[in-house]
Structure 1
Amino acid sequence: MAQVAVAAYSPYLERMDGARPGPLDADYAAAVTDTEAWVVERDGEVVAFLLLVAEDDALLLDNVAVLPSHHGTGIGRALLTLAEGRARAHELDRIRLFTHVTMVENQRLYERLGYVETHRGGEGGLVRVFYEKVL
C-alpha cells in the first residue's frame, strides 16, 4: 500500500509548500490491523486501497488511493461505493473524510459523489477540508 500512497500523493508535494500529506508517512502494516483495509490488485500488484474506521456516529474514510496509472478506470469510485456499503453494514448513516486544501481534484470528485463540505481547519501547518455524506 505504501507504494500506492507514494505514487498517489507525491504529485501534491509541490503544491503543499513543504508540508507532507499524512499518507506518505503512514504505517501501513499497522493500518491493516488498526483499520478496515481493502486493496485492489491487478495482475498481482496492489493498485489501490481503502482504509475505513468505524466511529460512534459515522464511518471515517481514513484514506483512499489509486495508482495514477489506474486513474479514470472506476477503481476509486468503486472503493467509495464500497465505503458506503461498509457504513451501512456498521449501521452508520454517514461517512466523513478530509483532504488537504490543495487537493482540489479530490474535492471535486467528493462533491460530485454527494459529499458536502462541513468545515475547514488547520493543524500543524496543514489546512484540511472536511466532508460528510449522509447515506
Structure 2
Amino acid sequence: MSLLIRPATLEDIAQIEAIVEAAYSPYIERIGRKPAPMLDDYASQVLARRVHVLAQEKTLSGFVVLIDTEEYLLLDNIAVNPAVMGQGFGRQLLDFAERHALDAGYPSIRLYTNEAMRENIALYLRRGYVETHRVEENGLRRVHMRKALS
C-alpha cells in the first residue's frame, strides 16, 4: 500500500469530516460535549493551506492540521480513521509535523489536547513532548504540550 502525505484539497473535506466524526465521537461522553475538533471549519483550514492528509490515491487514512506562529508550529489537530488504527499512520503524521516544523526553522512544536484524552497525553509524552500547562479554554480543560526540536 503506497501512502503519501499531501496538502488537502476541498475534495477531501467529506473524508476529513468523516474521520473527525469517527475519531472524536467516542470522547463525547467522557468530555460531556463534542471535542473542539468536531466543531472546526475544515474547508477554511484547507483553504488556509493548514491541512495535510495521509492518502492512498483518493482514500484518506488520516490528517494533520498545522498552524504557523511566530515562535513555533502548532499541531492543531491530528486524527486517524479508527478503521485503520494500529498501522503506524498516527506516527507517520506526527513525524511529518515534526519534520515540517524543523524544515520551517522552528525550535519547537506545540499542541494541546483535552485532559480527558489520557491516551493521547500518554502517547505525546512517549514521543518526547512535555506538559507546559493546563488551562480551561472555551469550556474545555486542555493540556498544553511542547517538544523541542533539534
Q: TM-score range by the shorter chain?
A: over 0.9
Matching of residue 108 in structure 1 with residue 122 in structure 2? yes
Which stretches in structure 2 are left out of the alignment for 5+ residues? 1-15
Runs of 4+ in 1 over 6 A off after TM superposition: none
Matching of residue 129 in structure 1 with residue 133 in structure 2? no
Equivalent-residue separation in structure 1 for 2:102 and 2:109 (angstroms): 10
RMSD in angstroms over aligned alpha carbons?
Answer: 1.1
Calculate the TM-score normalised by the size of structure 1: 0.94
Calculate the TM-score normalised by the size of structure 2: 0.85
Q: Are the equivalent residues in 2 in contact too, given 1:36–1:53 (CA < 8 A)? A: yes
Query: CA offset at residue 25 of structure 1?
Result: 1.4
- Quick one: which amino acid aligns to residue 83 of structure 1? A
Equivalent-residue separation in structure 1 for 2:56 and 2:103 (angstroms): 26
Equivalent-residue separation in structure 1 for 2:80 and 2:105 (angstroms): 27
Equivalent-residue separation in structure 2 for 1:54 and 1:69 (angstroms): 30
- Quick one: which amino acid aligns to residue 112 of structure 2? F
**Counterpart for residue 85 of structure 1:** 99
Matching of residue 36 in structure 1 with residue 46 in structure 2? no
**Counterpart for residue 15 of structure 1:** 30
Q: Are the equivalent residues in 2 in contact too, given 1:53–1:60 (CA < 8 A)? A: yes
Q: Are the equivalent residues in 2 in contact too, given 1:35–1:53 (CA < 8 A)? A: no
**Counterpart for residue 40 of structure 2:** 26
**Counterpart for residue 62 of structure 1:** 76
Matching of residue 53 in structure 1 with residue 67 in structure 2? yes
Which stretches in structure 1 are left out of the alignment for 5+ residues? none
Query: CA offset at residue 79 of structure 1?
Result: 0.6
Query: CA offset at residue 43 of structure 1?
Result: 6.0
Equivalent-residue separation in structure 1 for 2:84 and 2:123 (angstroms): 16
